[in-house]
Structure 1
Amino acid sequence: MSVVISKLKNVVKSRRLNVFLIFFLLAFFILVLARLSASYTNTVDFKVVLKNIPDEMIVLNDSTNTLKLTMTADGFEWMRYYLKTPSVGIDFNNEVKKADSLYVWSLSRGFAGINNQFNKDVVVKTINPDTLFFKVDINAVKMVPVKPNFNISYSLGYNVLNTIVTVPDSVKIIGPESLLLKIDKIETEVLSRKEVYKPFSTQLSLISETKNSQIKVKTKAVTVNVKVEKFTEGTLSLPVNIINVPKNVKVNYFPKTINLSYYTSLENYNTIDVNDFEVVCDFNEHNNKYSYLTPKLVKAPTTIKTSRLHEQKIEYIISE
């Protein structure tokens, strides 16, 4: 019996202890909320982050600049500043002005820009120092073409009509002029696809040709749009013309027409006709050792991928 009574006493004591702990924690939580809800005035260092720096400029000492802001804010706001180093932005383009060889930010010009970065419950009282100096170097800017690297194979009967280009097809690089002169292109990572039979788009990262930290590439990736289409082969019989024949010379030649095979998309097949092509032989290339001229395709529509003349020789006879 005494054992049962002892256990009951322990349960009661335990419950009292639990209730005490709950009330203690609740009181502590309320106290913390009250503290954090109160307003405090304090001074904290803010790292300066420059924004909208012109492409051709590089700021040499921007990482060393800080501003001491004295502010009135509640405890919640101050907790955020103490947990992580805060920063404020300065608009280089609008708030910084050139003075002799340096660029200068002044409190009178930039206070509004700083103040607008805080919510209405934060009161910025003072900012120190009232002036920041930035040393700037001028870099060269150059546009260079993007060279895409493709390793694409298409399913039988499928291809692309036009050369695949990147968007954008050129990018801006920034750095010392002596270094930029050595760069004439920026390559992409390799795009590998096999047995492709339908259109697709993808992004390719750019691979800088130099590891020099002084050179910046503004664009990090480009887009390629690969319009894969069903292709077919067509054949046409084209007239052959001989050009640059002297007025006092008559030339008889054979054959007068020549067959041409071309490869085009199924979509463009019905739009192609004889008038889109021109085959000529240049009489200035004739040689007494041979009795033939070489036909050349000098006109073809952009809607064909490849073409091939079936005959490589046009025989001729000269009569005065």
Structure 2
Amino acid sequence: MANPKNRGKNSNLRVFLTILLVVAAISVMIKLNRNFNFSVTVPLTFENLGDDQILKSASTNQVKVKGKASGYDYFKYRFFSQKFPIDLSQLQQKNGKAYYVFNAEEDALEGSLTGSDITSFQPDTVFFDLDKNFEKRVPVIPEYAISFAAGYGSLEGFKVDPDTITLRGPQSELDTITRVYTEAISFENVRNSVSDSLQLSFNAAIPMVEIRPDKVLYSLSVDKFTEGSVSVPLQLINVPSNVTAKVFPKRINVIFNVNLSNYELVKSSDFKVVVDFDQVESLSTSLTPEVKEAPSYVRDIRLSESTVQYLLVK
């Protein structure tokens, strides 16, 4: 059984501690309600920048504010992130320089210190380096590597859309840029068509220049390919007027790859293979034939003969 004297001591201690806490709380509240001097460092935010302007730099991104406020308001203020907004569309200008001057009577802090009495801003002026926003169109260069599965390929190849984009920024920066690049992407053993989007970037960091849009779509149309060949007559060009030219053979096989859907469309007449007598060398009796015309849907074109023999008869 507990000792009555001990119970009495514990009860008295609890009462004493309760009174002490109440007195301390009242004392703190009285002090918080009194006005006292404060000093806070406030980050700056910059708003309403014109579409035709770019903010290159500001002399500071924070300001030290001194003033008077109740301890209660200051205590609340310390628990919230406060910022001081500067309207860039209302800046003053002098000698080509843009600036904002803090006014202790007109400028006010946000949050619990809205009604405080401000005595000073340090620094009292923020200077801005503004530049005109220019636009420039540049090509998009895709960065990719592709390997196809055997018998597969792409007639159109890797394509991006759009293939040119708009840059916005200072003229001095835009003059140094001639292109933008996609992020690198690679494909292996490809059998099926693919498409998605890619992020755009520069080779080096250019923070003042904006890319619009900053992504492009890509597509790779993949088909099953097969090899084909047709026999094409050789056409002689630039034959001297005082001679008759003959070549052996008179026809040559054109070998190519074509996607299966276009295989039946290929005809001998779609190709033009020439022998150019302007290329004749005095010590040689052979010429190299060249493919001058071919359908757009064939690829990997080669000839069955790398050279042909010729004869000139007067």
TM-score, with structure 1 as normaliser: 0.61
Q: Does 1:183 align with 2:177?
A: yes
For residue 140 of structure 1, report the CA deviation from its aligned partner. Answer: 3.6
Contact 1:160 / 1:226 at 8 angstroms: preserved in 2? yes
Residue number among 48, 51, 66 corresponding to 1:50 in the alignment: 48
Residue number among 255, 258, 264 corresponding to 1:264 in the alignment: 258
Residue number among 206, 219, 240 corresponding to 2:213 in the alignment: 219
Contact 1:253 / 1:317 at 8 angstroms: preserved in 2? yes
Aligned residue in 2 for 1:77: none
Give the unaligned 5+ runs of structure 2. Answer: 1-44, 62-78, 99-127
CA distance in 1, matches of 2:97, 2:299: 58
- Of Structure 1 and Structure 2, which has the larger fraction of its residues in helix? 1
> Compared with structure 1, are the counterparts of its residues 51 and 302 closer, same or farther at alpha carbon in structure 2 (3 Å cutoff)?
farther
Give 2:51's aligned amino acid. Answer: I
Give 1:253's aligned amino acid. Answer: V
Aligned residue in 1 for 2:242: 248
CA distance in 2, matches of 1:86, 1:180: 33
Structure with greater Cα Rg? 2
For residue 102 of structure 1, report the CA deviation from its aligned partner. Answer: 9.2
Residue number among 278, 288, 292 corresponding to 1:294 in the alignment: 288
Residue number among 147, 162, 167 corresponding to 1:168 in the alignment: 162
CA deviations over 1:232-261 (Å, ceiling 9, x no partner): 111100110110112221111111100011
Give 2:186's aligned amino acid. Answer: S
CA distance in 2, matches of 1:144, 1:304: 31
> Compared with structure 1, are the counterparts of its residues 304 and 146 closer, same or farther at alpha carbon in structure 2 (3 Å cutoff)?
same
CA distance in 1, matches of 2:82, 2:151: 60
CA distance in 2, matches of 1:305, 1:148: 21
For residue 265 of structure 1, report the CA deviation from its aligned partner. Answer: 0.9
CA distance in 2, matches of 1:212, 1:225: 28
> Compared with structure 1, are the counterparts of its residues 59 and 272 closer, same or farther at alpha carbon in structure 2 (3 Å cutoff)?
same
Contact 1:154 / 1:197 at 8 angstroms: preserved in 2? yes
Instruction: Output aligned runs, 1:107-118, within 5 Å.
Output: none
Moved over 6 A (4+): 82-88, 100-103
CA distance in 2, matches of 1:162, 1:141: 31
Instruction: Output aligned runs, 1:225-240, within 5 Å.
Output: 225-240=219-234
> Compared with structure 1, are the counterparts of its residues 200 and 83 closer, same or farther at alpha carbon in structure 2 (3 Å cutoff)?
farther
Aligned residue in 1 for 2:276: 282
Q: Does 1:318 align with 2:303?
A: no
Q: Secondary structure at the match of 1:165?
A: strand
For residue 163 of structure 1, report the CA deviation from its aligned partner. Answer: 2.8
Q: Secondary structure at the match of 1:306?
A: strand
For residue 203 of structure 1, report the CA deviation from its aligned partner. Answer: 1.1
Contact 2:157 / 2:220 at 8 angstroms: preserved in 1? no
Aligned residue in 1 for 2:151: 157
Q: Does 1:145 align with 2:143?
A: no
Contact 1:151 / 1:193 at 8 angstroms: preserved in 2? yes
Aligned residue in 1 for 2:74: none
- Bigger mean CA offset, 204-213 vs 178-187: 178-187
What's the RMSD between the two structures over aligned residues? 3.8
CA distance in 2, matches of 1:304, 1:83: 68
> Compared with structure 1, are the counterparts of its residues 285 and 229 closer, same or farther at alpha carbon in structure 2 (3 Å cutoff)?
same
Contact 1:183 / 1:209 at 8 angstroms: preserved in 2? no
The percentage of aligned residue pairs carrying the same residue is: 30
CA distance in 2, matches of 1:59, 1:182: 17
Q: Secondary structure at the match of 1:284?
A: helix
Give the unaligned 5+ runs of structure 1. Answer: 1-46, 65-81, 104-133
CA deviations over 1:121-150 (Å, ceiling 9, x no partner): xxxxxxxxxxxxx98421442222111111
For residue 176 of structure 1, report the CA deviation from its aligned partner. Answer: 3.2
Contact 1:141 / 1:175 at 8 angstroms: preserved in 2? yes
